Structure 1
């Protein structure tokens, strides 16, 4: 395997060359959204300039070209996670994907006394839909708790998966802690008990190889804009038998075979879940992003980010009064932290004035921050296009900010 010139890779991302407040940008908010390489921007631009047309509706040349490119993107995304294209529903992102499972799979099947298990570390997108379904069906929510370092308590989870549990919703990687959950082991626990598993892969697909067949889950969701693709894109992978058994979530054009006032015959999966005109340009861009990451090699991406995380963690360990939230032994390059005497929002605001972009707040994970007894954290999240020099610039900015805060 040849060594990657990471400086050359960084040059693929135009936005990283800009300045903020007169300082070179240090973009450490990748768990929020990733920056886009030029090939993605060019793919979107090329669609609108050369073959802008709706998909699956026209026999003219532009319509055929648009449809071919859109379906090619589906195939590329499927290969990215080792799936078949007819198992992949294209949608606006993980939030939509999980709601699709909630309303199309869970709502018709759950009943009073059934249990949905979610972990303490879940993003709100993997909590709130299940609460809404529980309210409508009489099912109950059960929380899988954590160990103090931010690891999932697997022994407690194993005991929690009793006969009443019908569905388990779990993050592959925590967006706050960076914890990488052993989803293959967890889904095996669920499967041997007949429990349906839903995995939120938003923070995994951009940063490591993902193989849904090896994981053994029932559903796997991810978001395009975190995978260096456009916003408003994403996908839900599901076992074919689930897609065939689930009713449509939305009704409208292109999810049907025939409509009359006496009744409607729906299209085959995955198309019966894709009502209306999709974000065609966005998915073509997402296909380009998937091709880009595949060519780069997600194993190489994971190794690069682990190297950056090791450097970053070493530097942060030297900072007096800094508390890390989430220290699991197996984690992605996501670092949530607090500094004594400084509010997270103040830290983030002052770091921005030094050109450093981090996120502050509760990160759409209120129950998790309640577990740690904090109102907010700063979160620095790295990607493969970040550099060791940026880590040094972050540390210099943090030192300056701490002096300003007294």
Structure 2
């Protein structure tokens, strides 16, 4: 297996020069970079066998359908699911909205409760807020504790027979902390509630096993897993599919269409109306195969956490404030009381350093802490100690 320095060479973007400096990319939580293997897989589709899936009987179409379904199988194996439990989406946001539309809209009634945490990404907050308003549901928001994870005492106290869904982030996109999903799921199931896990930030940094987690739904985005944009996955446990209804209608998803009535295909196809994101699915399949072949999560997690601790410690020594006590996971989020986060990001860009500044789609949490904006560093296995040291040296000059 390649070491981390050798793996970095698989990513062509790091040959970039930005403002006369080598690119330092600290924004993988927003979107990770792609290895050449993913680019090659998508290019091969476009250049040698581009066609639609499940349509033609000619060789191109059969190869396309085979490649598309192979990607589904690879992804299913990656998270220990069945292929029929994998629905292709445009991303984690689409997957969450899909669960709201195909399951929650039918299964939840006035007075039922949805539980989320106070650090959910807007994508795992707004769909439930809007559904709660439409159907007169109860939306309960559980705080985090001093360690940056879900306050389990408050969570256990909130669970009741009214609780029908717990929609929870696996790894926070602003704190980098990871919730104990197994414990959260077990408690929810005791009161008959279903659990949706937002794995957008965890999927590229730790092993995600849906059987081990026990969740009913799980979503993630391909572009955070070193794959292309415009593709993601919704895991939907097989025994819950009978309780879901399609909400997009058209080609591919219909088994038999008639003027009087129509019948749908079984899952996952009944939830994939129209021409799917074929090239993106093939690219995501290639990304998953790249990760499985090359990445040891124990090694990469230790490396990413060491970079986060190094950055967090250095920033604290320079007088900056952290949202979390120390670097957590692969993320460090910080702010200065006098310098706006956008100005810090612009300053870093002048040295070729790419970071994210803003509220990171967790605006209510920022407002609760009376913080307008923060700067986020997010690391992947292709980042290096020397990059973090250069960043800290530049921050000393700010």
Q: Which residue does the alignment assign to 1:305?
A: 304
Quote the residue 2:371 is aligned against. Answer: 374
- Aligned-residue offset at 1:148: 3.8
Contact 2:175-2:333 at 8 Å conserved across structures: yes
CA deviation after TM superposition for structure 1 residue 328, in Å: 7.2
Q: By how many angstroms is 1:149 displaced?
A: 4.1
1:178 counterpart residue number: 176
**Would the aligned equivalents of 2:120 and 2:168 in 1 still touch at CA under 8 Å?**
yes
For 2:49 and 2:201, the matched residues in 1 are separated by 32
**Does the aligned pair in 2 maintain the 1:177–1:327 contact within 8 Å?**
no
Shift of 1:5: 1.8
CA distance in 1, matches of 2:385, 2:357: 22
> After TM superposition, which residue ranges in structure 1, 4 or more long, deviate above 6 angstroms?
none
Equivalent pair of 1:244/1:268 in contact (CA under 8 Å):
no
Contact 1:58 1:64 survives alignment (8 Å)? yes
2:257 partner SS: strand
More displaced stretch, 32-41 vs 338-347: 338-347
* 1:21-32 → structure 2 map (5 Å cutoff): 21-32=19-30
- Trace 1:254-273 onto structure 2 (pairs within 5 A): 254-273=252-271
Partners of 1:254 and 1:33 lie apart in 2 by 30
Query: What is the CA-CA distance between 1:316 and the residue it aligns to?
Result: 2.5
Match of 1:391 among 369, 388, 392: 388
Give 1:313 deviation, angstroms. 2.8
Contact persistence 1:117–1:167 (CA under 8 A):
yes
Q: Distance in 2 between matches of 1:78 and 1:310?
A: 33
Alignment of 1:7-406 (within 5 A): 7-296=5-294, 297-320=296-319, 322-327=320-325, 331-400=328-397, 402=398
CA RMSD for the aligned pairs?
1.3
Deviation at residue 242 of structure 1 after TM alignment: 1.4
* Greater mean alpha carbon deviation, residues 140-149 or residues 260-269: 140-149
In the TM superposition, what is the alpha-carbon distance from 1:80 to its structure 2 partner? 1.1
CA contact (8 A) 2:309 2:326 kept: no
Deviation per residue, 1:290-341 (Å, 9 max, x gap): 0111112333322322232233233233212x11102379x32111001231
Q: Is the 8 A contact 2:71 2:281 kept in 1?
A: yes
Rounded Cα–Cα distance in structure 2 between residues aligned with 1:72 and 1:106: 30
SS of 1:117's equivalent? strand
The secondary structure found in structure 1 opposite 2:107 is coil
Write out per-residue CA displacement over residues 58-92 of structure 1, whole angstroms, 9 at most, x where no aligned residue: 11000000000000000111111111111110111
CA distance in 2, matches of 1:80, 1:283: 14
What does the per-residue CA deviation read over 1:227-278, in whole Å, with 9 as the maximum and x for residues that have no partner? 0000000000011021233110210100010101111110010000000111
Structure 1 stretches lacking a partner, 5+ long? none
Cα deviation digits, residues 146-172 of structure 1 (max 9, x gap): 124422211111101122111111000
Distance 1:280 1:301 in 2: 30
Asked if 1 retains the 8 angstrom alpha-carbon contact of 2:307 and 2:385, the reply is yes
- For this pair of structures, how many residues does the alignment match? 397
Q: Distance in 1 between matches of 2:337 and 2:367?
A: 18
Q: Secondary structure at the match of 1:263?
A: coil
**Partners of 2:172 and 2:366 in 1: CA distance:** 12
Q: Once the 2 structures are TM-superposed, how far is the Cα of residue 22 of structure 1 from its aligned partner?
A: 1.1
Alignment TM-score, normalising by the size of structure 1: 0.95
**TM-score normalized with structure 2 length:** 0.97
Distance 1:261 1:232 in 2: 34
* Structure 2 unmatched runs, 5+: none
Task: Give the deviation of 1:223 after TM superposition.
Answer: 0.4
